[in-house]
Structure 1
Amino acid sequence: MVSSRENFEVQVNKGGRWATETVVPKEVEARALAKKFLADKKCEGARIVRNWMRSDGTMDETEIFAQTRAGADDGPVRISQIDEVPEKCETPEEFMGPQGRNTVNRIFRSYLDKAILTPTELMHNYKELKRLQDKDTLVPSAVDRVSQLQTKDSEQDSKSRSQEIFKSIDDISARAKRVENVKLPKLDGCFSDAIKEIRAQAGGEDVDYLAMVLLSRDLINARSWVGKLEFLCKLAVEDSDPHAVELLDGVIADVLGSAVVQEILGWQPGLGAAICRMFDLADGKFPTEKSEAGESAEILNRLFAEKKLPISRACMLDRAHRQIRSPNPLYRSESGKELEELKKLVERTMTPTGFISGSETAEALTIRYSRQIEQGGAPGRKATVNGLFRMLPDRAQGLVYLCDLAGSPWGGTATPEIAELVDYCLSARHLGDFCVRSLPPKEKMLRATLAHKIAAAAAFPPAVREKICGFIDTMLEAYLVTEQIVEKLDHQDSHLRDRAVRLVQFCAAGVLPEGKAMNRARQRILSLLRQPNFDAHFIDGFTDPVRAQKALRDFHILLVKAGFG
């Protein structure tokens, strides 16, 4: 008799994603249905998941059968049309690095989704690489596209660049074939432990390369994107070796180049909301409750929060920015909500340290806004820059936007329009006119100081940078005077120790840039430090000499942090 606590879920693979077709109570019935699905040549795969309800009410899921067809074919597979590529890879190692794999991920997206393969598996498995090379004209088309993009503005011709790329592909293929039958340790525990075993037997082959071969052999058995992600994330979260996690990070980035991101994010009301969630995930702040990727999403979010996946984070940010630049509407159901959704996106991408990715973010948002503008040429550029600028809450953040945009290719075509708005920012009469008036004093100063920092590194002529920074510094100094910020911190009725600590903490908090405003605050501190017997007065009131000396040491450490040498 079959227990009512058990059932069998029959799933089929559709476009690289597993979807449940039916749930039955008996294993034999599930296997018969899976076989029936696989009889259809268009079926890319079928699998059976056994669901068992434990006594505590939780569900245990075990995959008991899986079969896929890398060759399931419903017509020719074509390369994806890409419009940008990274700088040239000169060696096979560079082709197999993060940027090279990212390009492979994008240009072979259709093929990789059908085969459910990452670029890492493709490059470290000779049979899979050979299968791709034998697939119509897929590889020659991809090489031709990449070589054209990489030689577009150079003296090299695309034909010679194609020959260089083919040479590297041949080298990668020969290397994969050479190690195809090399015996490697089992990946039963930590990835770093397996790497140590490989190191002991590597011989003349590169240890990291063999580690990737081993990882690929195991990863290729996971026949869904969520399965691959779960396998890799569990390895990464359980390993404390930074180098092992770095290798895993690159492969996790490969997986995040697939449609698995849609499963991680779950249902979203529109593209705008989905992009915001991508940024949340990259920051490790993604709410995983509605994710369709289950435990994988939770582990991935945790790894991002712990800043263990810089390569994968860069992949997520790149994907988010490409979606911002795309012509797809941010909210498909109501076209009138496009600007409203864009405003939410602008707010999400602006952080306490500026735009998430600086010039890249500013340019992507500008390109998105430009699709709302009907005019072309200079009038269109002016309307675009002005429109995005007005979406920001005040001149301080508007200036951050202009500085970042100036450093982008798009901004290079709109220099007069940017300059006009910079002058508008510098027409602010005081800090309350430059920042949102209702902000607390500390937040106003932080926002102005951020604009100062971004402007100091902006792609403006030196004279313009100095003008902007001088204006903000003067405005901050005036704010200190009119609001008596320093005097309030240095209240005469307080103990000398409290006054000194408050002032030094203020200077160390990053609320002021180096300049006149900071010097004014430091002068007040110096006047305290120069008082006779300062140290004795500072520890006055302590009965425990050990605590007194610790307080004095901590104060001197704080002085160094505040720039007192």
Structure 2
Amino acid sequence: MASGRENFEVQVLKEGRWVTESARDKEEDARALAKKFLSDKSCAGARVMRNWLNRDGSMNETVLFEQTQSPKGESVVRINPIESAPAICERPRDYFGLESRMAMNRIFRTYLEQVFLTPTELLHNAKELSRIREKDSLVPSAVDLVATLQTKGTEIPTKQRRDDIFAALDQIYAQARRADGLKLPQIGERFSDLFEDLAGKGEDGPEYLAMVVLSRDLIGRRNWVGKLDQLCRLALGEPNRQAGLLLDTVIADVLGANIIQEILGWQPALGSAIVAMLDLADGKFDCSKSEAQDTTEKLNKLFGQGRLPGSRHVMIERAMRQLKSSNPLSRNDPGKEMEEYQKVLVRLLSPGGLLAGAEAAEALTVRGTRFVEQGGATGRRAAITNTVHALPDKATGVMYLAELSKTGFADEHLADIVKQLDLVFSARVIGELTRRTNSPKERLQTATNAFNAALSSALPDEVKKKVTAHIDGVLERFLVDENVIEKLDHPTDHIRDRAVRLVKFAGAGVLPEGKALARARERIIKLLRMPNFDARFVEGISDPEKQQKALRDFHQLLVKAGFG
């Protein structure tokens, strides 16, 4: 280094990522080398980064020069195939929705990686929309694929659907053209400030124009980490909920790009990477492993605060796609394939069931088919059985099978799913239905979650009724055997304490609608019908105002518990 504390990296763009090719002590030498790389028409881009070593050992990086170009001699850019399409968009605005943009992200993945654009930037910028429409046969091929998938099994003619999509795209392009002719402000410290600045400007509303401004800002950032960092910075400082949700939609777009490896850092196996994605979606990721630590810390914090619902959906969906894929969970050590599978399985379990519901049930079962020798229907049947046996208790097995009934597996294997549900009928007491190591409250909650999962499943009605009735009976027996109601309503305690405990228990959601909950409610009604209940309830409270407050608070508890 000329000063001992700085140098200049020369990076080139390869397969959508910046790769360091060389370093120079002088800026002019680095710029000259970058331009030399660009003179090769097969080079997609080059840039110069200034690295400055701080006294505390940290490094500051600054982009001094950056230029991208379309490499000559490159192959025709084609769409990436997808197996299913989102629901039909009825209005042009529907194409801006999360599921539609997720589909765009996957179909146009190759193109978007070349130009470093998200679907949001594409939809809000007339120049970029014009470019993609002129790029080979990308848009017609994508429209044809989506129209075919959306009309399959329906009476809608594919040509009609194709024409409808093209008409909507024309309207989206016209809207972007209108915005292109407006002089709009730049983003300040808060994204929501734009709403007021843009009020009354143009005919498309401040929210749309704010997204145009955001897209213009992001288009100038020619790498995924740079875009993500700007979005996370804005989201962390955004007090306006609606503005925060808009930022979430674009963060979700970025997370659909080839950025996950940089965010997660080195992972020993695909199984570990899937677990890391799920950890990040819950805001529990160890950011020290990331290659973009500062940005990932911001992202992890936002996930942990529950401020990125759309992005969380994208992260979990991406993890489930990897779990369903044919890629080994442990490429370097095939002997650890089952161990990695079990790690993912455990991570997907939560007190409420499977983290991603039907999507997780399907992904686990698809992956499970790779552990059996048989193929076809026999292999799928074996995978369902093996997955049930791999779960920690019978209640979780019910939740898994209930979710699996909502997937394509039920088309051919509904009878097998119903047969596996027989496991619940062998559980006569709650210790046989749920893990004995759990607390009483956790056991009640797990059993109730199994009840609710069966009730909301796609199982035949008679099967639902049989399974839920059995679980309800197990719950009622637990209340009786453990004297749960009697302990809550101990006769030596003050009637106020007894009543509050019973009502809180009935309203805690640890019991489903059924015989068990009815038993608790009967005891509450019995208490409420006692002579002079109100007077006895406030005994020991001398202040009349505090007496009234105690009665009001208790009434609110009753309403929340369904006694309104």
TM-score range, shorter chain: over 0.9
- Distance in 2 (CA, whole Å) between partners of 1:88 and 1:497 is 56
Tell me the SS of whatever aligns to 1:371.
helix
Give 2:520's aligned residue: 521
Shift of 1:252: 1.6
**How much has 1:424 moved relative to structure 2?**
2.4
Q: 1:192 to 1:227 in 2, by over 3 A?
A: same
Provide the C-alpha distance between the structure 2 equivalents of 1:92 and 1:549, rounded to a whole number of angstroms: 55
- The residue identity in structure 2 corresponding to 1:120 is T
Which stretch shifts more, 385-394 or 288-297?
A: 288-297
In 2: Cα distance, 1:429 partner to 1:271 partner: 40
Whether contact under 8 Å (2:277, 2:316) holds in the other structure is: yes
Residue type of the alignment partner of 1:341: E
1:130-529 to 2 correspondence within 5 Å? 130-202=130-202, 204-529=203-528
Deviations 1:203-228 (A, max 9, x none): x3443333222222111110101111
Aligned to 1:105: 105
Q: Is the 8 A contact 1:236 1:245 kept in 2?
A: yes
Give the Cα separation in 1 of the matches to 2:30 and 2:232: 30
For the aligned residue pairs, the C-alpha RMSD in angstroms reads: 2.5
Residue by residue over 1:352-403, the C-alpha shift from the partner in whole angstroms, topping out at 9 and shown as x without a partner, is: 2222232222112212212333324543332121011111111100011111
Residue in structure 2 matched with residue 114 of structure 1 by the alignment: 114
Deviates more, 1:470-479 or 1:453-462: 453-462
Judging changes above 3 Å, is the alpha-carbon distance between structure 1 residues 97 and 440 closer, same or farther for their aligned structure 2 residues?
closer
Asked if the contact 1:70/1:115 (under 8 Å) is kept, the reply is no
Q: Contact conserved, 2:42 with 2:71, CA < 8 A, in 1? A: no
Q: Normalising by the residue count of structure 1, what TM-score does the alignment of the two structures yield?
A: 0.92
Q: Alignment partner of 2:371: what SS?
A: coil
Q: Is the 8 A contact 1:397 1:451 kept in 2?
A: yes
Q: 1:264, 1:292 within 8 Å by CA — same for their partners in 2?
A: yes
Tell me if the contact between 1:69 and 1:115 (Cα under 8 Å) persists in the aligned partners.
no
Q: Which amino acid aligns with 1:37?
A: F
In 2, Cα distance between the equivalents of 1:238 and 1:70? 37
Q: How much has 1:308 moved relative to structure 2?
A: 2.3
| TM score, norm. by length of structure 2 | 0.92
In 1, distance between residues paired with 2:74 and 2:212?
30
Shift of 1:450: 0.6
Q: Against the structure 1 CA distance between its residues 128 and 72, is the aligned structure 2 distance closer, same or farther, given a 3 Å change threshold?
A: farther
Q: What is the match of residue 68 of structure 2?
A: 68
Residue identity opposite 1:347 in structure 2: V
1:70/1:116 contact within 8 Å kept = no
Shift of 1:120: 2.0
In structure 2, the CA distance between the partners of 1:88 and 1:560, relative to structure 1 (3 Å rule), is closer
Aligned-partner Cα distance in 2 for 1:431–1:345: 27
| Letter of the 1:41 counterpart | K
The change in CA–CA distance for 1:72 and 1:481 in structure 2 (over 3 A counts) is farther
CA 1:82–1:73: 2 relative to 1, 3 Å: farther
Paired AA for residue 246 in structure 1? L
Q: CA deviation at 1:59?
A: 3.9
Amino acid of the structure 2 residue aligned with 1:514: E
Shift of 1:315: 1.8
Give the letter aligned to residue 309 of structure 1. L
Quickly say closer, same or farther: Cα 1:417–1:6, change in 2 above 3 A: same
Aligned pairs (5 A) from 1:521-540: 521-540=520-539
Contact 2:365-2:380 within 8 A present in 1 as well: no
Contact 2:79 2:142 in 1 (8 A): yes
> Aligned partners of 1:476, 1:155: CA distance in 2, in Å?
48
Name the CA distance, whole Å, in 1 between partners of 2:3 and 2:350. 54
**Which residue is equivalent to 2:12?**
12
Once the two structures are overlaid, the 10-residue window that deviates more, 80-89 or 485-494, is 485-494
Supply the distance in 1 between the matched residues of 2:421 and 2:79 (Cα, whole angstroms).
Answer: 43
Cα distance in 1 for residues equivalent to 2:545 and 2:298: 45
> CA offsets, 1:38-73, max 9 Å, x none?
333333223333333455555443322222225566
**Once the two structures are aligned, what percentage of the paired residues are identical?**
52
Q: Following the alignment from structure 2 to structure 1, what is the Cα–Cα distance between the partners of residues 56 and 371?
A: 55
Deviation at 1:404, TM superposition (A): 1.0
State how far apart, in whole Å, the 1-side matches of 2:330 and 2:522 are: 54
Distance of aligned partners of 1:96 and 1:486 in 2 relative to their CA distance in 1, 3 Å threshold: closer
Q: In the TM superposition, what is the alpha-carbon distance from 1:550 to its structure 2 partner?
A: 4.2
Distance apart, 1:243 and its partner CA: 2.6
- 8 Å CA contact 1:265, 1:292 repeated in 2: yes
Q: Distance in 1 between matches of 2:27 and 2:480?
A: 79
**Structure 2 CA distance for partners of 1:73 and 1:295, relative to 1, 3 Å:** farther
SS of 2:229's equivalent in the other structure is helix
Bigger mean CA offset, 323-332 vs 370-379: 370-379
* Paired residues of 2:495 and 2:536 also in contact (CA < 8 A): yes
Tell me how far 1:256 sits from its aligned partner. 1.2
> CA contact under 8 A between 1:95 and 1:101: conserved in structure 2?
yes
In the TM superposition, what is the alpha-carbon distance from 1:477 to its structure 2 partner? 0.9
Equivalent residue letter for 2:232: C
Q: Quickly say closer, same or farther: Cα 1:209–1:388, change in 2 above 3 A.
A: same
For residue 39 of structure 1, what is the amino acid of its counterpart?
A: S
Letter in structure 1 aligned against 2:360: T
Inter-partner Cα distance in structure 2 for 1:53 and 1:427: 67
Q: Is the 8 A contact 1:381 1:417 kept in 2?
A: no
Unaligned runs of 5+ in 2: none
Aligned length: 564
Give the whole-Å Cα distance in 2 for the aligned partners of 1:283 and 1:439: 23
> Are the equivalent residues in 2 in contact too, given 1:16–1:225 (CA < 8 A)?
no
Q: How far apart are the structure 2 equivalents of 1:491 and 1:73?
A: 84
Name the residue aligned to 1:38: 38
Task: State the SS of the aligned residue for 2:426.
Answer: coil
Q: Quick check: 2:488–2:498 contact (8 Å CA) kept in 1?
A: yes
Contact 1:430 1:475 in 2 (8 A): yes
CA contact (8 A) 2:264 2:276 kept: yes
Q: Distance in 2 between matches of 1:466 and 1:127?
A: 58
Q: In the alignment, which residue of structure 1 is the partner of 2:87?
A: 87
CA displacement at 1:25 relative to structure 2: 4.1
Q: Aligned equivalents of 2:5 and 2:556: distance in 1?
A: 63
Task: Find the aligned partners of 1:557 and 1:151 in 2 and give their Cα distance.
Answer: 50
Question: What do residues 258-290 of structure 1 show as CA deviations (whole Å, max 9, x unaligned)?
Answer: 011221111112112212222222222222221
Deviation of 1:540 (Å): 4.1
Q: Is the 8 A contact 2:11 2:20 kept in 1?
A: yes
* Amino acid paired to 1:43: C
| Structure 1 gap ranges (5+) | none
Per-residue deviation, 1:471: 0.9
Shift of residue 87, structure 1, vs aligned partner: 1.9
- Aligned pair in 2 of structure 1 residues 34, 416: CA closer, same or farther (>3 Å)? same
Shift of 1:191: 1.9
